[in-house]
Amino acid sequence: MALYEFEGKRPKIADSAFVSESAVVIGNVEIGENCFIGPNCVIRGDWGRIVIGNKSNVQGCCVIHARPDDMTKIGNRVSVGHASMLHNCTIRDQVTIGMNATVSDYAVVGEKSIIAEGCVVRNSQEIPPASAAAGVPAKIIAKLTEEQIATHDSHKDLYAGLAARCHKSLKRIEE
């Protein structure tokens, strides 16, 4: 992984977290326990602060950034799908962000919600807890059942386990 100190701020990454070798992590970033950060992610804490909670996963090619002196906060047990972009927003616990989704400045995604693939959560938009949102711009399409919440939450264990598996058995092939 490419870790960079920026203006005296260094990333803090839990020992149990896995950060791919091709990921770039800059400055004021905190990555919690048992997190998985996939290939080609860019997590830039150069202007603002980035906090990623425990057992969260940020899948390949995601970009996470924050405005100057502000923050992007990702809760515990959050899945951020491939190629998503999170900018200066708050993602509460147990959220699933679909692939190629965008969550914009000052938006708040309530706990246990699902943001569909390709969805755009607009500036300052709030997604209520246990909701499914889809579209451009995001619209609430359903209230989630406890069964749906449990199914999506169980998928987060797969990525928390993948972090441990990568620490144990991922080996670079030198030819």
* CATH 2.60.40.3140 fits domain 2-169: no
Q: Could you list the pLDDT tens digit for every one of the 175 residues in the chain?
A: 799 999 999 999 999 999 999 999 999 999 999 999 999 999 999 999 999 999 999 999 999 999 999 999 999 999 999 999 999 999 999 999 999 999 999 999 999 999 999 999 999 999 999 999 999 999 999 999 999 999 988 888 888 889 899 988 888 888 7
Spell out the domain ranges in the chain.
2-169
| CB within 8 Å of 90: residues ≥ 6 apart | 72, 73, 107, 108, 109
Q: Looking at the chain, list the stretches that DSSP marks H as alpha helix, in order from N- to C-terminal side.
A: 146-169
Residue type at position 33: E
What is the reported pTM? 0.95
pLDDT of residue 175: 76
pLDDT at residue number 144: 97
